[in-house]
Amino acid sequence: MECSDGNQHEGDYIWLSTGTKFDVTTEPLLKDILETYPIKIVKGLPVLDTCLRWPGCELFLMGGLAAMLVGPTARNLSGARMVCEKIVPAIVKPSLALSHTFSRVQAG
């Protein structure tokens, strides 16, 4: 494995971890989303809608960043099940889809 700092490592397995600090403002993948769709953040956690959707767009979050609505189990398997119960209806039901009217109301 070659790292971005030039270091190289060899091994049989790679363990992935999301870390223990959850702060949406420090996530490089969410930088553009934060700039385009600014939202309220409480102690690093985004204030999502009831479907775990980022207000103003069709981005859904799960894991530790969804802990404000899911609770402390957000980072484990039972939390993933709870998240599915919130996200799936918003994806499959057109009545829960984000409309342009909703976007303007949230942004205003």
Residue 47 structural domain: 24-107
- Do the domain assignments include residue 59? yes
- Do the domain assignments include residue 86? yes
pLDDT in tens, 47-98: 999 999 999 988 898 888 899 999 888 888 888 888 889 888 888 876 666 6
DSSP string covering 33-76: HHHHS---EETTEE---TTSBPTTSS-B--GGGGHHHH-GGGGS
Structural domains counted in the chain: 1
- Do the domain assignments include residue 2? no
- Do the domain assignments include residue 77? yes
Length of the chain: 108
pTM passes above 0.85: no
